[in-house]
Structure 1
Amino acid sequence: MKHSDDDILTLAKQSASSYNEAFTIIVTQFGPRLFPQIQRLTKNRQWTEDCLQNVFIKVFQSLKDFRGDSSIYSWLYRIANNEALNYIKKEKIRFTSDLGETSIEVIAQDFGFNNISTEVIEWHLMAAIETLPQKQAEVFELKFFQDLKFSEISKLTGVSEGGLKANYHHAVKKIEEYLRLCDTYSSNL
């Protein structure tokens, strides 16, 4: 059962046990949406799990102070994004990848990579995304992998829809160019 933000915040303010219940609802309801968001930044399942755990520790500690000026998901998104970026910076991590099969199948179809393994396609896509500026990579990942609308991404990031559309357009063009170069190179081998 999906709970509204108001229901969750009301629970959090009632008693210690209802606070715990509100927190459990947040973990259950929003954890599955936050996991892929963090994973697209860290590119590694273990790092994602560590970051998500840190996110929920911060949420547990500060839920009582959340005023509800934004949606709970927007608040969680910002915490998760900052936590993942800080984790990467702190650990000075070079990315590895762990994408879903569905995304790889879409890319394989779109670029005609029918005879190339999903691991190779996944590697090329992650390499292409790594070449993008941070803002372009972020909007591409939210639009392509999470299938969010620009209006939703705007609420999460605080960037205008026009700016997001421009960043997405540039990201797609750069990724297409990168993947076409990879396809051309592999065809010549």
Structure 2
Amino acid sequence: MDETQLLLLLEKDINSGFRQLIKMYSQTIYWHVRKIVYSHADADDITQNVFIKVFQNLQGFKRNSSLKTWIYKIATHESLNFINSAAQKKNIRNEELVILLSSQLKDDNFFDGDEIQYKLQQAIAKLPEKQRIVFNMKYFDNIKYEDMSEILETSVGALKSSYYHATKKVEQFLLANIEK
């Protein structure tokens, strides 16, 4: 089912359409959120909140962007709000929290990566927030810059620059931290 068919189904039968929407996007959104918050339990909770917000606001979806882009935007905002709130509760900066969360990946039963994947996640966690999100969206999710521009509300040029700088920093970190 493509997005146009899904939108028609949502108009015709919101319950059936929403079940299909969740089927189509839940895994993608979970992994997008997970790359921002690192923890499986938190990503699972946030993903549920994202779909609750999507359901509550579906009537207000203006179709200025794709449905997927709109859901990604909600998921990104929910994830960043979670990071902000969790950092405030711990009385630390967001950047410190992200590094702390990434360092706990090895203890997460849902992380099945090897040492190189763990180091990659550490490198990504050290990036500034915007670069970290842009890197994840481009490198892992292969999201087009135009869609990212809508999600993150910034210019394509700024996104390309952020991705370029992020890849250089990740490369430097990995070269310095992976045994040869």
Q: Is the 8 A contact 2:134 2:162 kept in 1?
A: yes
Match of 2:11 in 1: 13
Matched with 1:160 is: 155
Deviates further, 171-180 or 83-92: 83-92
1:123 aligns with 2:129: no
Asked whether the equivalents of residues 3 and 67 of structure 2 are also in contact (C-alpha less than 8 Å), the reply is: no
Trace 1:40-51 onto structure 2 (pairs within 5 A).
40-51=35-46
Equivalence for 2:54: 59
Q: Which of 73, 79, 92 pairs up with 2:68?
A: 73
Would you say the 8 A contact 1:12–1:64 is kept in 2? no
For structure 2, which runs of at least 5 residues remain unmatched after alignment? 88-96
Query: Match for residue 38 of structure 1?
Result: 33
- The one-character-per-residue Cα deviations of 1:113-168 (angstroms, maximum 9, x if unpaired) are xxxxx2x3233222211221111111111111112333333343333222222111
The residue aligned with 2:93 is none
- After superposition, the Cα gap between the structure-2 partners of 1:100 and 1:148, relative to the gap in structure 1 and judged at 3 Å, is farther
Check the 8 A contact 1:8/1:25 in 2, yes or no. Answer: yes
% same residue: 31
Q: Residues 13 and 64 of structure 1 are in contact (CA less than 8 Å); yes or no, is this contact kept in structure 2? A: no
8 Å Cα contact 1:128-1:179 kept in structure 2? yes
Tell me the residue number matched to 1:91: 86
CA distance in 2, matches of 1:44, 1:171: 22
Q: Partners of 1:151 and 1:140 in 2: how far apart?
A: 15
1:80 & 1:135 partners in 2: Cα distance? 15
Structure 1 regions of 5+ residues with no counterpart? 102-117
Q: CA offsets per residue over residues 58-95 of structure 1, 9 Å max, x none?
A: 11112122222221111101110111111222233531
1:138 aligned residue (133, 137, 141): 133
Q: Which amino acid aligns with 2:3?
A: S
Instruction: Check the 8 A contact 2:29/2:72 in 1, yes or no.
Output: yes
Secondary structure (helix, strand or coil) at the match of 1:13 reads: helix
TM-score by length of 2: 0.79
Partner in structure 2 of residue 3 of structure 1: 2
Distance 1:42 1:145 in 2: 15
Q: TM-score scaled by structure 1?
A: 0.76
* Letter in structure 1 aligned against 2:19: T
